[in-house]
């Protein structure tokens, strides 16, 4: 099973600041990694797939990068609606599909 | 509009069974794999099970293998999760989720239901 480790667990930032979230895989997942956003009481929402491809309605301030074992989600300038929990997920090797433990982006 | 409506969650006792359902609309259901993902209170996401578009190929997390059965009825555009021998650690919100790319299961999930709550407690 591929284990995904996200860091930091919590990121405290102000609106307008840049957010950098990390996801590290226990072995290579090539570029088969996605990022999801989840707000309280809501289902997750797919933001980015295959490491760097934005889903149609994902704002351009979200960008993904990386390959192999190290991946980054960057939010260039935080908007109030971006404060949420973010999860990475791999589809390189399954079953199981696996998720990271999540990074909470909170208002400082 | 593409939509998933999951239902069937309830409060049950340890050892009991429960069946969750997920009604799909707005897309060609039979051409996409489907999954169940759960989230325990205050915890992260855990993939539970997946099924290919045709229904013949099923996949499970080790934590539920032998107890849960995923299935689908393409004539009714509905996904199911039969949960048997439920344990306290199965307590979670269960989401059904559509595979992004097609009938194969190894995929991301681009449409999610709102979730249905399963509580296992005596």
State how far residue B47 is from chain A, nearest Cα, in angstroms: 6
CA-nearest of B68, B122, B120 to B89 is B120
Judge whether B27 and B98 are in contact, CB under 8 Å: yes
**Mean pLDDT of all residues belonging to chain B:** 97
Q: Which two three-digit tokens encode residue B101? A: 């790319």
Residue B104 has pLDDT above 90, yes or no: no
Nearest-Cα residue of chain A relative to residue B41: A41
Look up tokens 């555009």; give the residue. Answer: B77
State how far residue B112 is from chain A, nearest Cα, in angstroms: 6
Per-residue model confidence (pLDDT) at position A55: 97
Mean pLDDT by 10 residues, chain A (108 residues): 97 98 98 98 98 97 98 98 98 95 97
Per-residue model confidence (pLDDT) at position A17: 98
Residue B117 has pLDDT above 90, yes or no: yes
Which residues of chain B does A49 touch, with a Cβ-Cβ cutoff of 8 Å? 100, 108, 110
B64 or B105: whose pLDDT is higher? B64
Judge whether A85 and B43 are in contact, CB under 8 Å: no
Strand pairing partners for A7? A22
Q: Is B9 on the interface with A (CB under 8 A)?
A: no
User: CB distance B115–A99 less than 8 Å?
Assistant: no
Judge whether B70 and B60 are in contact, CB under 8 Å: yes
Task: Categorize the per-residue pLDDT at B75 as very low, low, confident or very high, splitting at 50, 70 and 90.
Answer: very high
CA-nearest of A62, A43, A49, A44 to A92 is A49
pLDDT in tens, B14-60: 999 999 999 999 999 999 999 999 999 999 999 999 999 999 999 99
Judge whether B85 and B101 are in contact, CB under 8 Å: no
How many CB pairs below 8 Å do chains A and B form together?
57
Nearest-Cα residue of chain B relative to residue A40: B42
To the nearest 5 percent, what fractions of chain B are helix, strand and coil? 5, 50, 45
Say how far apart CA A22 and CA B53 lie, in whole Å: 33
């Amino acid at each position: 099973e591929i284990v995904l480790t996200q860091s930091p667990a919590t990121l405290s930032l102000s609106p307008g600041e840049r957010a950098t979230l990390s996801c590290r895989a226990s072995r290579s997942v090539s570029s088969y990694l996605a990022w999801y956003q989840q707000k309280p009481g809501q289902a997750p929402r797919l933001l980015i797939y295959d490491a760097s491809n934005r889903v149609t309605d994902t704002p351009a301030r979200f960008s993904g990068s990386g390959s192999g074992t190290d991946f980054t989600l960057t939010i260039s300038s935080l908007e109030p609606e971006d404060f949420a929990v973010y999860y990475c997920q791999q589809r390189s090797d399954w079953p199981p599909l696996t998720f990271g433990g999540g990074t909470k982006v909170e208002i400082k | 509009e593409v939509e998933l409506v999951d239902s069937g969650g309830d409060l049950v006792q340890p050892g009991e069974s429960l069946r969750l359902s997920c009604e799909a609309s707005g897309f060609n259901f039979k051409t996409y794999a489907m999954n169940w993902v759960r989230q325990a209170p205050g915890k992260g996401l855990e993939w539970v099970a997946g099924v290919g578009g045709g229904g013949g190929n099923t996949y499970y997390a080790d934590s539920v293998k032998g107890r849960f059965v995923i299935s689908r009825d393409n004539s009714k555009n509905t996904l199911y999760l039969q949960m048997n021998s439920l344990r306290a650690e199965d307590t979670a919100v269960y989401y059904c989720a559509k595979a992004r790319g097609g009938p194969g299961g190894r995929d991301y999930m681009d449409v999610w239901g709102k979730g249905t709550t399963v509580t296992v407690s005596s």
